[in-house]
Amino acid sequence: MRTGAGRSGRADVQFWTARSESLRAVIKGYLTVILRSV
């Protein structure tokens, strides 16, 4: 759902960059755990 894309475009970009960074950290954690368990 996108509401007011033109008004909060910059905030939207910051939100998605922070979310992608957190997702990347979570994925790295999962990969390290999987590699250690193997």
For the chain, give the mean pLDDT. 85
Q: What's the pLDDT score for residue 7?
A: 61
Report the alpha-carbon distance of residue 37 to residue 10 in Å, rounded.
41
2 against 22, higher pLDDT = 22
**pLDDT band with cut points at 50, 70 and 90 for residue 11:** confident
Task: Answer whether residue 30 is part of any domain.
Answer: yes
5 against 16, higher pLDDT = 16
Task: Answer whether residue 37 is part of any domain.
Answer: yes
Residue 9 has pLDDT above 80, yes or no: no
Residue with tokens 């998605």: 16
Task: Answer whether residue 2 is part of any domain.
Answer: no
Q: What's the pLDDT score for residue 17?
A: 92
Range of the domain at 22: 10-38
What's the number of domains the chain is made of?
Answer: 1
Tell me how far CA of residue 35 lies from CA of 24, 25, 31, in angstroms: 16, 15, 6
Residue 18 contacts residue 11 (beta carbons within 8 Å): no
